[in-house]
């Protein structure tokens, strides 16, 4: 190679001459033979040779969240494992009423409920689940529309489902909606059905018939097929009311007359209050026939008794005009809805309780509106009505007890009760007024406490009579609390407000609200005290609802 060639720039081929190497090349004499299948070019992030990493196990195939884990073995299962059929952790007394047995299970968590009893009504291929749920909803609809409490409605629905062998059923009752869900097993989709309650009517005869049907369904010795249950339910819905319309109008008049005697009225007041209540009842029926809401029906029905009382005051007739108005209010106060609303609240059904109490408030506002309109114009034209007459009540024990029993009897007729229950509820009402009068007028105890104790006895005896006759407790308690309703306190509160004495009127209305709450709580407490003596549950007691911890 010449000197001239050395000065020439190197070509690209010369740069890649195999004899010319890089400083990073492997020196000669160091032989590193690559393993079979391994690439000569590696990354600095490659795992060094000789370091083996454990491979993760293959993932389980995707399945249901309720499927048994692959690591589970029935031979080594823990003792606390609950099978799908359930473990009877609580043994219910078989001869206890179905209401208490079903209520006890509803108040348990689902995992603690005992296994269902042996199915007595198995048909070919098992029970038809949609039809059983439909029958359950129809029975619940009649009970809720008849004024039954939400907990008792759920207990009846639960009893119907279990009588046909449907386990894992969850009924849900609100003021206007019934729903029930049934899940055949933990890995199957639930079946849910619902029904809306659009119309409500007071008919305790129909209510008692529904209770007898549920009692027959839960009786293991009685076989009632689905078709037979549907037939009986259709007959219950088609049954006519036991009392005609004229009997109801007459009963409302006698109820108002008996209430006027309770607050000190005489014979003239009795007939005046009766006439006013019957006129109000007919006007309410006329408004109902025209499709007016119940608010306006109560408003119109409250006007005639108030108008007759104001007419007596304007004519300066020597009678107790306030007793006429008070008697008319007794026939309108919604005691049934009030008791049911407070009972739902005490048993944890707060949405239904709020709706019921809101309904009571609307009815009460309607009554207040009707009475205030008449009293306002009566005061403007010179009517002299004395609010202090509330403090002057003649003590006539025998006459008042008779009036209280007549009031309970007529109230039972208005509620369309069975004729066989009218005598019992009449006696229960007489006992309630006797206890109230002894505590209020003889022992001089506060009216709220006297009312609560008397209502508690009404609830206790009502539960006793209902268990004796295997029926609902409502027909034996609702009419019996009629003599205890705060009609006089309501009237005198409205009268004070009409005379521009707002503070005094609000105090009287607050007293009326306290008496109403005392009635509702007393009835519920009496029922609960009676149930405490029934052997229901593992410890001989009925389990209470555990929905909150108190904070």
| Residue 314 forms part of a structural domain | yes
Q: Are 307 and 264 part of one and the same domain?
A: yes
Q: Are 440 and 322 part of one and the same domain?
A: yes
- What span, in angstroms and rounded, lies between the C-alpha atoms of 309 and 379? 12
Of 394-398, 476-480, 508-512, which gets the smallest average pLDDT?
A: 394-398
Structure tokens at 502: 């707002």
Q: Are 273 and 192 part of one and the same domain?
A: no
Report the DSSP beta bridge partners of residue 173. Answer: 178
According to the model, what pLDDT value does residue 32 have?
53
Which among 37-51, 178-192, 403-417, 531-545 has the top mean pLDDT? 403-417
Which among 87-96, 132-141, 492-501 has the top mean pLDDT? 132-141
Q: Are 213 and 249 part of one and the same domain?
A: no
| Residue 58 forms part of a structural domain | no
Residue 82: pLDDT over 50? no
Q: Are 234 and 256 part of one and the same domain?
A: no
Residue 383: pLDDT over 50? yes
Burial class (CB in 10 A: 0-12, 13-18, 19+), 349: buried
Residue 231: pLDDT over 70? yes
Averaged pLDDT for residues 192-198 = 87
Residue 541: pLDDT over 70? no
Averaged pLDDT for residues 96-121 = 56
Q: Which residue has the higher pLDDT, 425 or 546?
A: 425
Residue 20 pLDDT level (bands cut at 50, 70, 90): low
Q: Are 231 and 301 part of one and the same domain?
A: no
- Residue 319 DSSP symbol: S
- Give percent of the chain above pLDDT 90: 8
Domain end: 238, 260, 288, which one? 238
Q: Are 207 and 254 part of one and the same domain?
A: no
Q: Which residue has the higher pLDDT, 166 or 535?
A: 166
Buried b (16+ CB within 10 A) or exposed e, 92-106: beeebbbbbbbbbbb
Q: Are 229 and 330 part of one and the same domain?
A: no
Q: Are 392 and 428 part of one and the same domain?
A: yes
- What span, in angstroms and rounded, lies between the C-alpha atoms of 411 and 103? 29
| Residue 544 forms part of a structural domain | no
- What span, in angstroms and rounded, lies between the C-alpha atoms of 348 and 95? 27
User: Pairing between strand 177-182 and 169-173?
Assistant: antiparallel
User: If DSSP codes are grouped into helix, strand and coil, which group holds residue 196?
Assistant: strand
According to the model, what pLDDT value does residue 83 have?
47
According to the model, what pLDDT value does residue 550 have?
35
| Residue 256 forms part of a structural domain | yes
| Residue 545 forms part of a structural domain | no
Report the DSSP beta bridge partners of residue 169. Answer: 182
Domain end: 238, 273, 288, which one? 238
Residue 221: pLDDT over 60? yes
Q: Are 154 and 279 part of one and the same domain?
A: no
Residue 400: pLDDT over 60? yes
Q: Are 397 and 300 part of one and the same domain?
A: yes
Residue 487: pLDDT over 60? yes
| Residue 522 forms part of a structural domain | yes
Q: What is the pLDDT of residues 300-357, one digit of tens each?
A: 998 998 888 888 888 877 777 778 888 888 888 777 777 788 878 887 888 888 888 8
| Residue 75 forms part of a structural domain | no
Structural domain of residue 439, as residue ranges?
Answer: 245-531
Q: What is the dihedral of CA 371, 410, 320, 432, to 10 degrees?
A: -100
Return the beta strands (E) in 186-342 as ranges: 191-196
Structure tokens at 520: 């509702």
According to the model, what pLDDT value does residue 179 have?
92
Structure tokens at 459: 């609830």
> Three-state SS across 385-450?
CCHHHHHCCCCCHHHHHHHHHHHHHHHHHHCCCCHHHHHHHHHHHHHHHHHHHHHHHHCCCCHHHH
According to the model, what pLDDT value does residue 409 have?
92
- The model's pTM is 0.70
According to the model, what pLDDT value does residue 186 have?
72
| Total residues belonging to the chain | 551
Could you give the number of structural domains in the chain? 2
Buried b (16+ CB within 10 A) or exposed e, 292-326: eebebbbbbbbbbbbbbbbbbbeeeeebbbbbbbb
| Residue 12 forms part of a structural domain | no
Q: Are 189 and 139 part of one and the same domain?
A: yes
Domain end: 238, 265, 285, which one? 238
């Amino acid at each position: 190679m010449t000197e001239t060639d050395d000065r020439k720039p190197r070509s690209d081929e010369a740069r890649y001459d195999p004899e010319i190497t890089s400083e990073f090349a492997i020196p000669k004499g160091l032989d590193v033979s690559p393993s079979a299948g391994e690439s000569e070019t590696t990354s600095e992030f490659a795992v060094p040779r000789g370091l083996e990493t454990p491979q993760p196990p293959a993932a389980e195939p995707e399945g249901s969240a309720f499927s048994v884990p692959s690591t589970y073995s029935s031979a080594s299962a823990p003792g606390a494992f609950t099978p799908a059929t359930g473990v009877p952790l609580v043994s219910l007394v078989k001869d206890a009423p179905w209401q208490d047995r079903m209520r006890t299970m509803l108040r348990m968590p689902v995992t603690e409920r005992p296994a269902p009893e042996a199915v007595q009504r198995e048909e070919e291929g098992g029970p038809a689940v949609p039809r059983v749920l439909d029958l359950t909803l129809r029975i619940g609809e009649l009970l809720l529309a008849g004024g039954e409490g939400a907990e008792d409605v759920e207990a009846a629905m639960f009893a119907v489902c279990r009588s046909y062998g449907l386990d894992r059923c969850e009924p849900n009752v609100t003021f206007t909606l019934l729903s029930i869900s049934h899940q055949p097993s933990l890995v199957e989709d639930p079946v849910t059905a619902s029904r809306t309650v659009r119309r409500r009517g007071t008919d305790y005869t129909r209510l008692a018939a529904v209770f007898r049907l549920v009692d027959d369904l839960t009786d293991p010795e009685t076989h009632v097929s689905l078709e037979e249950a549907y037939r009986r339910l259709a007959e219950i819905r088609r049954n006519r009311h036991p009392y005609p319309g004229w009997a109801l109008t007459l009963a409302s008049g006698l109820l108002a007359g008996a209430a006027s005697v309770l607050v000190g009225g005489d014979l003239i007041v009795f007939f005046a209050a009766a006439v006013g209540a019957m006129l109000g009842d007919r006007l309410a029926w006329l408004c109902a026939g025209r499709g007016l809401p119940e608010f306006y029906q109560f408003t119109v029905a409250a006007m005639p008794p108030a108008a007759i009382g104001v007419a007596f005051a304007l004519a300066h007739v020597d009678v107790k005009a306030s007793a006429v108005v008070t008697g008319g209010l007794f026939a309108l106060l919604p005691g049934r809805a009030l008791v049911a609303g407070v009972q739902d609240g005490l048993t944890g059904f707060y949405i239904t309780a709020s709706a019921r109490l809101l309904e009571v408030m609307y009815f009460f506002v309607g009554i207040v509106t009707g009475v205030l309109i008449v009293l306002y114009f009566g005061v403007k034209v010179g009517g002299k009505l004395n609010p202090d007459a509330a403090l002057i009540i003649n003590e006539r024990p025998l006459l008042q007890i008779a009036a209280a029993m007549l009031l309970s009897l007529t109230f039972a007729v208005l509620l369309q009760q069975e004729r066989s229950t009218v005598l019992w509820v009449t006696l229960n009402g007489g006992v309630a007024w006797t206890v109230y009068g002894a505590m209020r007028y003889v022992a001089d105890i506060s009216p709220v406490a006297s009312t609560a104790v008397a209502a508690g006895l009404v609830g206790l005896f009502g539960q006793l009579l209902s268990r004796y006759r295997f029926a609902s407790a409502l027909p034996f308690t609702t009419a019996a609390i009629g003599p205890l309703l705060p009609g006089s306190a309501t009237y005198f509160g409205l009268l004070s407000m009409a005379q521009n004495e707002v503070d005094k009127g609000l105090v009287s209305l607050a007293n009326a609200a306290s008496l109403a709450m005392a009635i509702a709580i007393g009835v519920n407490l009496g029922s609960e005290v009676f149930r405490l003596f029934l052997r229901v549950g593992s410890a001989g007691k009925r389990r209470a609802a555990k929905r909150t911890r108190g904070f």
